[in-house]
């Protein structure tokens, strides 16, 4: 009877150890995924900034072209 109880405790200890190892593995995975999320968010911000700069440049260039066209039209008349 006592041997059976000790055997059951041994099995429980093994299962608890496996659970602990799995939790540690999941924590490691979670840390890696959190870091990847931070990297991707940073890249997204950089791309959004680049897109905004591109839009501003496009607007600036469009404005310059429109001004030149106005000047050319005034000379042509």
And the tokens for 3? 């041997």
Which pLDDT band holds residue 31 (cuts at 50, 70, 90)? Answer: very high
And the tokens for 1? 């009877």
Q: Identify the domain containing residue 59 by its residue range.
A: 1-77
User: What average pLDDT does the segment 42-71 reach?
Assistant: 97
What is the number of structural domains in the chain?
1
And the tokens for 71? 């000047």
pTM for the model = 0.66
């Amino acid at each position: 009877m006592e041997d059976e109880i000790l055997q059951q405790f041994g099995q429980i200890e093994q299962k608890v150890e496996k659970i602990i190892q799995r939790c540690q593995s999941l924590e490691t995975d979670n840390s890696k995924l959190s870091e990847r999320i931070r990297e991707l968010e940073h890249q997204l911000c950089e791309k959004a900034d680049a897109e905004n700069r591109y839009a501003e440049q496009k607007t600036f260039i469009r404005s310059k072209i429109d001004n030149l066209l106005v000047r050319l039209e005034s000379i042509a008349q």
